[in-house]
Homo-oligomer: A and B are copies of this chain.
């Protein structure tokens, strides 16, 4: 289960300033998707401050192998684990929300390769328990972001024939999320449209 990231674009050892907003997740993704992720986090912060909904990001799971207690508690050896659930969940008007955010540079389709079987099983469970499950998908080349029902993605994933969802299908079956200054990505507007305002 060791998540060896592809180190191609990195120096052998990277030092990150302690106060940097660069989060572990970013290592494996490079810069792609980082602005997107930060837009979602800022949107969640906005929703929280405005009292619209409460969504939190799950920390990246890390398997700790060795800790040095001589100077406090410094982790000296550890590795990233794959998220077995999704990155975000929360509550809107008492209802449970759960979603995964993914960015692609592709122009013709959204690849399903970086969605794990565990994540699909998790989202199926969320749906079974009547939670609101979805994906937020960015086509970075077009600067377009879509809300896509998790069930739609699950169906594609489980058909197994295709390893991606065509861009046109996302456009047709998803809902475009408006990009703005504040909030950056107003996905709650879509949830309110689909499930009612509180």
Contact with B along A49-78 (1 / 0, CB 8 A): 001011010111111111111101111111
Taken together, the copies of this chain in the complex come to: 2
CA A61 – CA B64 in complex, angstroms? 12
Asked if A114 is at the interface of the complex by the 8 Å CB criterion, the answer is no
| In the complex, residue of chain B having the shortest beta-carbon distance to the beta carbon of A69 | B7
How far, in Å, is A197 (CB) from chain B's closest CB? 13
Least CB separation from A70: chain B residue: B12
Q: Which of A4, A68, A77, A122 has the most chain B CB within a 10 Å cutoff?
A: A77
Interface residues of A in 18-56 (CB under 8 A from B): 18, 23-24, 27-28, 48, 51, 53-54, 56
Binds B, one of A123-131, A151-159, A162-170, A177-185: A123-131
Contacts of A2 in B (CB 8 A): 72
The CA of A73 and the CA of B15, in the complex, are separated in Å by: 13
A160 to B98, CA, bound (A): 35
Q: Say yes or no: is A196 at the interface (Cβ < 8 Å to chain B).
A: no
In the bound assembly, the distance between CA atoms of A15 and B129 in angstroms comes to 39
CB closest residue in chain B, given A131? B91
Interface residues on A, range: 35 or more
Distance in angstroms from A149 CB to nearest chain B CB is 16
Please indicate which of the listed interface residues A70, A94, A122 has the most CB atoms of chain B within 10 Å of its own CB.
A94
Q: Please report the C-alpha to C-alpha distance between residue A96 and residue B90 in the assembled complex, in whole angstroms.
A: 7
Say which residue of B14, B24, B125 sits within 8 Å of A54 (CB atoms): B125
6 contacts between A and B (CB under 8 A): A5-B72, A11-B69, A56-B85, A60-B62, A90-B96, A93-B130
Chain A residues near B (Cβ < 8 Å)? 2-5, 7, 10-16, 18, 23-24, 27-28, 48, 51, 53-54, 56, 58-70, 72-80, 85, 89-98, 122, 125-126, 128-131
